[in-house]
Amino acid sequence: MWALVNEYARPRPEEVEEIDGDPAPNALGPGDWYLLKLRGWDPSSVGLGEGVFDLGKVFSRLGPDGPLNPITSATINEFFDLRYPGFDRVTSPDWRYNCGDYALGLTGSSSVGDVPQVKAYLQGNHYTLALDLAGKSSSDVATVFRELSPGEYVYQRGDHFVKIMIPGGGDVVDLSQKDGESAVYHKRSSRAEAAAYVSSYDNAVRLLYRKR
């Protein structure tokens, strides 16, 4: 289990409340984890990705009656830095927007919701399906990435979404993503490197959407 950071005083149980939507923290490992905040505190007073875990007001609890433990950015980053080797962490972790929200650029009040809503949005009028990569070899994917035109893309890998930006006609691709309560992770790569990253996951669903 990942170490909890205990630099803040633990509140009494009656001083905390569950966070709306019960976003169970991935970084704490397996178990029935709850995410709680100080009662009456409004997390929206902190900007997205700007250190909402670092004020001593967010806590975790294993099960409905477990002890309260402070949780900070360090706890979250320890877990996700290992998940995204080679990527740079560019924000503080935040549970208030997910991988789909980030990939679509729709956060806060513009959030479309969870995975089913993100899929529906991608299949609507704002994006077009550029390619179904399921079953394609790594060389096939490399060919696709060599020929992609500049623009903004979303790569759907199962129930995870990655933002892909091709800023110009050269050999530069920006990959960025977040996952649950994680920070945003970014990597600037070549087209061949981006294709290799996409090909490294063998999911039944691998769809590439282009923003209209």
Q: Domains of the chain (ranges plus CATH)? A: 13-83 (no CATH), 97-211 (3.90.70)
Q: Which residue, chain included where needed, has tokens 């063998």? A: 202
* Arithmetic mean of pLDDT, 125-131: 94
Could you read off the pLDDT of 43-75 as tens digits, one per residue? 999 999 999 999 999 999 998 889 999 998 999
pLDDT at 176 (0 to 100): 98
Residue 82 pLDDT > 80: yes
| Confidence at 22, pLDDT banded by 50, 70, 90 | low
74: exposed, middle or buried (Cβ count in 10 Å: 0-12, 13-18, 19+): middle
Sign of the torsion formed by the C-alpha atoms of 7, 11, 15 and 18: positive
| pLDDT value for 5 | 44
Ranges 122-126, 140-144, 167-171, 176-180: which has the least confidence: 167-171
